[in-house]
Amino acid sequence: MKSPQNFQNPLYEGSTSKFSDEGDDWPLPDRSCIGEDPTTPSKASDAQSSESYRTVHMHVTESARMHALHSREFCSNELVTSKYNIVTFIPVNLFQQFCRPANLYFLTNAAIQLIPGLSPTGWPTTVLPLSFVLILNAFKEAYDDFKRHRSDNEVNTRMCEVLQGEGIKHVKWKSIIVGDVIRVRCNSEIPADLLFLSSSDPQGLAYLETANLDGEMNLKIQNAFYQSSTLNPDDGDMSFHALSGLIIDCEQPNNKLYEFEGSVSFQGQGLMPFDVSQLLLRGATLRNTQWVIGAVVFTGADTKYMMNMVVAPRKVSHLERKMNILVAGVFIMQLLLCIGLAIGHFMWTYSNSNHYYLANDKAWPEPGLDLTGLVVQVLRFIILLSPLIPISLYVSLEIVKVFQCWFIQWDSHLVYKPAGGHAQTRTSNLNEELGQNFGQVQYVLADKTGTLTQNMMSFVQCSINGIVYGNLTKSSFAGEPSACTHTVCEDQYLIEELNKSNPLPDSQSQKCKDFFFHLAVCHTVLPTYSDEDETGEITYQASSPDEEALVQGAALCGFQLTRRTSSELTVESQCVFRANFQRPTQSWLYWSSPVKGKG
């Protein structure tokens, strides 16, 4: 192994591999082209006079925070996803249960049996079984809602660091209010919508995983304000009072994840506009950054995460819909049968009313042979034939669903191996949909690869200057899809070309090195380490498995991406000699659209 030296790349003649100028910071991109004329004033400049904006004052002292807490100008940060509370449980649950045709049918029967002289069996035969069914279903609903309350409480009681005075105070998530300045640690969820002020990254960057928001696993890069990016609560000279004069004018809460604008007023520095790149959304998870500091602008129901959560209506499965149709059909058949029996009873009574063994009117009052008598007999026959619809119809189905939930959670085949977690059933109302719908699927239409399929890429073969390297065999596609093997680095001819020292500029060896050099440089992949001192194993975070496979293949071939910042890439070469070369990020292209803006 030769000693480290600068890599001389023929593509950049006259310069070594370290492209960044010493002592000069890489210029920040000009964002004046994003959707508006830079000569026109920002909408946030007149925010105080517009109802479409809200004004947020920072309160970093205890007295200011207590005053804001008692004023209750903005909503609480408490999360509530449960359906019931102690007061609403009984009426709401009874209403939902009697929306079912069978339960409403038996309630009507019970009401008829309470009328003296109509019921041939007595009210306990229907009221007691119906009460048992309703109570059993209520216990099941209470158990499901108890799990929601427990999940809400777990989220609301998480602790967060709020910066106050010259120290840090630990408060619960539900106690966070608009105007708080909080610090979020690595691998923690953002508790509220924050305006990004500073981070542990020297460039003022933060990497967010937004899988809970948009389903995307790739990391998003957010930028802190340049004026506040040096704030560090661990420094002794950190002055929290400098933030007390910070005033934020931002738009009112809305559900647009990729749109946000406003301005910040620092003491003596005028108005500075911001956009969605300075917004840390609730529900996102902080990655690859030790900590971030942000000012709370939206809490609770005002956060974009909560505003994108719609109130779920009561879901009715296909099986229950069919059951309701069958119940209605049985009831119609029963009603016709009761009318026929009542008419037959009238005809028989009219011709056989004088038999000695029949009770007289005094012992057994009978309605007359008129319309009222017909209705009374129809109601009596409805009560007699009510077992045609079993009273335990729905409760039996609910009991089966509870056991199905348990079996789903215990199923060893329904395990997500990377996380080691079993399947979780959030509700038992739609269990049968798994077999009724998913079990009958013949065609899957997806918008892109990886939506419903496991998208694993392996770097197996490449063509450089017309020469193909790597062997493509059937064994390349065998085995588990999670075991990605980048076999291109096993080609002996490729290894020989990469290990040649001092190749000519137009030689095949140099072209191979240039090829893998560009694979290691031209991408948006972010290298991450298993430990904070960046000495452990490197893993790559990519927006697509294609990029990840190409960068991993380049690393196995001797060109390993080791570090990435907003202005510089560091690649380590291990081909014959060991060389470290750094390449600055040449430019950033910003664009925005009504659907999604990216940078």
Residue 88 Ramachandran class (φ > 0 left, ψ -120 to 50 alpha, else beta): alpha
CA dihedral 290, 291, 292, 295 (to 10 degrees): 170
- Give the model's pLDDT for residue 42: 36
Higher pLDDT, 29 or 218: 218
- Give the model's pLDDT for residue 592: 42
- pLDDT digit string (tens) for 522-580? 887 888 776 666 667 788 877 677 888 899 999 988 898 888 876 788 888 876 544 45
CA distances from 581 to 294, 501, 515, 537, 540 (A): 35, 17, 15, 20, 19
- In which band, very low, low, confident or very high, does the pLDDT at 434 lie, cut at 50, 70 and 90? low
3-state secondary structure of 406: helix
Q: pTM of the full predicted structure?
A: 0.65
Structure tokens at 144: 């499901």
Q: In terms of Cα–Cα distance, which of 512, 522, 521 is closest to 466?
A: 512
| Residues facing residue 580 across a β-bridge | 572
Rounded (10°) angle between helices 393-410 and 101-113:
140
Task: Taking residues 350-360, report their average pLDDT.
Answer: 67
Q: What is the 3-state secondary structure (H, E, C) of 330-347?
A: HHHHHHHHHHHHHHHHHH
Per annotation, catalytic residue among 447, 506, 531, 533: 447
Task: Tell me how far apart the alpha carbons of residues 106 and 109 are, in angstroms, rounded to a whole number.
Answer: 5
Q: Which residues are annotated as a binding site for ATP?
A: 447-449, 547
Please say whether the dihedral angle defined by the alpha carbons of residues 472, 478, 481 and 482, taken in this order, is positive or negative: negative
- In which band, very low, low, confident or very high, does the pLDDT at 235 lie, cut at 50, 70 and 90? low
Residues 6+ apart with CB under 8 A from 35: 592
Task: Tell me how far apart the alpha carbons of residues 588 and 33 are, in angstroms, rounded to a whole number.
Answer: 12
Task: Tell me how far apart the alpha carbons of residues 355 and 455 are, in angstroms, rounded to a whole number.
Answer: 85
Rounded (10°) angle between helices 318-351 and 393-410:
160
CA distances from 32 to 39, 224, 269, 307 (A): 9, 17, 19, 30
- pLDDT digit string (tens) for 98-156? 888 888 888 888 888 887 777 777 777 778 888 888 898 898 889 889 988 998 999 99
- pLDDT digit string (tens) for 444-503? 676 655 555 566 788 888 999 899 998 876 555 555 554 557 778 888 888 888 888 878
Cβ atoms of 120 and 381 closer than 8 Å: no
Structure tokens at 109: 């029967």
Task: Tell me how far apart the alpha carbons of residues 287 and 212 are, in angstroms, rounded to a whole number.
Answer: 14
Q: Does 387 score more than 70 pLDDT?
A: yes
Cβ count within 10 A of residue 368: 9
Alpha helices in 196-246 (DSSP H): 211-214, 241-244
- Give the model's pLDDT for residue 226: 72
Q: Which residues are annotated as a binding site for Mg(2+)?
A: 447, 449
Q: Which residues are annotated as a binding site?
A: 447-449, 547
- In which band, very low, low, confident or very high, does the pLDDT at 30 lie, cut at 50, 70 and 90? very low
**Is 275 one of the catalytic residues?**
no
Domains present along the chain, CATH in parentheses: 10-21+455-584 (no CATH), 51-73+176-307 (2.70.150.10), 78-159 (no CATH), 395-440 (no CATH)
Task: Tell me how far apart the alpha carbons of residues 564 and 568 are, in angstroms, rounded to a whole number.
Answer: 6
Average pLDDT, the chain: 75
Please say whether the dihedral angle defined by the alpha carbons of residues 114, 120, 126 and 127, taken in this order, is positive or negative: positive
